[in-house]
Chain A
Amino acid sequence: MADLLPEHPDFLWRNPDPKSSYDAVIVGGGGHGLATAYYLAKNHGMTNIAVLERGWLAGGNMARNTTIIRSNYLWDESAAMYEHSLKLWEILPEELEYDFLFSQRGVMNLAHTLGDVRESVRRVNANKLNGIDAEWISPEQVKELCPIINIGDDIRYPVMGATYQPRAGIAKHDHVAWAFARKCDEMGVDIIQNCEVNGFVMDGDRVVGVETSRGRINAGKVGLCGAGHSSVLAELAGFRLPIQSHPLQALVSELHEPVHPTVVMSNHVHVYVSQAHKGELVMGAGVDAYNGYGQRGAFHVIEDQMAAAVELFPIFARAHVLRTWGGIVDVTLDASPIVSKTPVDQMYVNCGWGTGGFKGTPGAGYAFAHTIANDEPHPLNEPFALERFETGVLIDEHGAAAVAH
């Protein structure tokens, strides 16, 4: 007879039934929802709170992103938010007592045209003024940092240089979620999976609870961290968001020996590549053009990004696509997030992180928790309020932030 299976290891969090009432409820148990709950408990002493997750913990975009972390954004507001986030990433493994493989292997954003070069150098200068590590590097330096890249001048879009942020990198996304979840749980936060919110309980202009697939839960405050489904949640609450939901795809190859020591992004030819710790090449590109909630996109988008990847990394021609998948990203028209109060009293929204939410996980949670606890934004997220679409004070990172949309 075969040996019995070993005992199941300890669970990292309880799976409690929802209580009838909480001081605050966070809708969405992805990275941002968990980070928000963590900082609500840790920084603001709010431990009688719950995170409600429609499916399983961190099964949405937190499970589907390409794990790139960087803070080299152009505008001051973004730089402050993402740099704060990066500084939190740097202390979180110790703080959460969990080695989630945060690896500061650097991120390069390639320039392929004169326009790219000018934009990149401008961004490096802006980053330096904001105290963010950034440098402009030559094609030869690009090659030195990443020997497998093709810097020949005989390709359609030759590498003319790159911006480089040494403190940027990657982390193991699932472990990040689990690390937050375990700490939340230790502090008394209820993480409730398979609990879909399908309505809000209102008292006049104020939210006082949520209707869920597991019954009504009263809540003093409600924070929405619904990512691609933010518009659906807002509609249930009776207001609109300037968000469009799009499919965004990514893929991995089979496992390879370590060949790619850093992270390379190219906005112009539209691919970004790193190599995960266990060896897969991880790649992503831009969103599918149309609105979609299907968590899948079209293969021609994958083909385009593979063409770009093989031209930049000829060695990849021998690799195989092992798996592709899609998530639903919530995109704003200025490509900046919304971390804000809402027209509903005691309801708050964190959304619009679009294609770049993973890197913002701790920063978003930190600022959003402050907003929820104090009923007013933290200075970090004050510029990211819904009102900016009326005042016109947009934070236009489209094309400015080395973001590959």
Chain B
Amino acid sequence: MLLIECPHCGPRDETEYQYGGEAHVAYPEDPSQLSDKEWAEYLFYRNNPKGLIAERWAHAVGCRRWFNVVRDTVTYEIKAVYRIGEPKPEIGGVK
């Protein structure tokens, strides 16, 4: 089980959290202008790196707030935790 450090509450067990997939996927600025291919990208295509990924977690049974994590998808090691709105940390190769 992962031990995830909520930026608001501190370290808690993985079972307190909900996973939210890839972070930093912005809603399209002008949805009416998107092509079908661009819509497909927005809806269905997410990075799936073998290595570092920037991803969202929600502290579902704690403060209920969303935040971001940089995690290694092979070792599962968490490299960084940061709040919504903060930039993606500059860690080598993070996607």
Binding site for B on A (CB under 8 A): 229, 231-232, 240-245, 289-294, 298-300, 332-333, 389-392
Whether B73 lies near A391 (C-beta < 8 A) is no
A229 to B74, CA, bound (A): 12
Residue contact A292 to B21, C-beta cutoff 8 Å: no
Cβ of B40 and Cβ of A229 under 8 Å apart? no
- 1/0 per position for B38-77, CB-CB distance to A under 8 A? 0110011110111001010000000000000001011110
- A240, A299, A389: the one contacting B1 at CB < 8 Å is A299
B76 in complex: contacting residue of A292, A299, A390, CB < 8 Å: A292
Contact A244 B40 (CB under 8 A): no
> Given contacts A290-B55, A298-B1, A299-B1, are A244 and B71 in contact (CB under 8 A)?
no
Query: Could you tell me how many residues of chain B have their Cβ less than 8 Å away from some Cβ of chain A?
Result: 26
* Selected A-B contacts with CB under 8 Å, 5 pairs: A231-B48, A242-B44, A291-B48, A292-B74, A299-B1
Interchain CA distance A289-B1 in the complex, whole Å: 11
Most buried by B among A242, A245, A290, A298: A290
The answer on a CB contact under 8 Å between A390 and B1 is no
**Which residues of chain A are within 8 angstroms of B36 by Cβ–Cβ distance?**
390-392
A391 vs B39: C-alpha distance when bound (angstroms): 10
- Closest B residue to A291 by beta carbon equals B73
Question: Are B45 and A242 in contact (CB-based, < 8 A)?
Answer: yes
- Separation of A391 and B35 alpha carbons in the complex (Å): 11
Q: Which of B14, B40, B55, B73 has a CB less than 8 Å from the CB of A245?
A: B73
- Among all A-B residue pairs, the 3 with the closest Cβ atoms: A289-B19, A231-B48, A242-B44
Among candidates B13, B14, B21, B40, residue contacting A389 with C-beta atoms closer than 8 Å: B40
Q: Mark B1-38, 1 if CB is under 8 A from A, else 0.
A: 11000000000011100110100000000000000110
Which residue of B21, B53, B75 is within 8 Å of A294 (Cβ)? B75
List, in ascending order, chain A residues with CB within 8 A of B49's CB: 231
What residues of chain B lie closer than 8 Å to A299, measured between beta carbons? 1
Known A242-B45, A300-B1, A300-B14; contact A293-B50, beta-carbon cutoff 8 A: yes
- CB neighbours of A231 from chain B (8 A): 48-50
The CA-CA distance from A55 to B61 in the complex, in Å, is 41
Contact B74 A291 (CB under 8 A): no
Question: Is A293 in contact with B44, judged by CB distance below 8 angstroms?
Answer: no
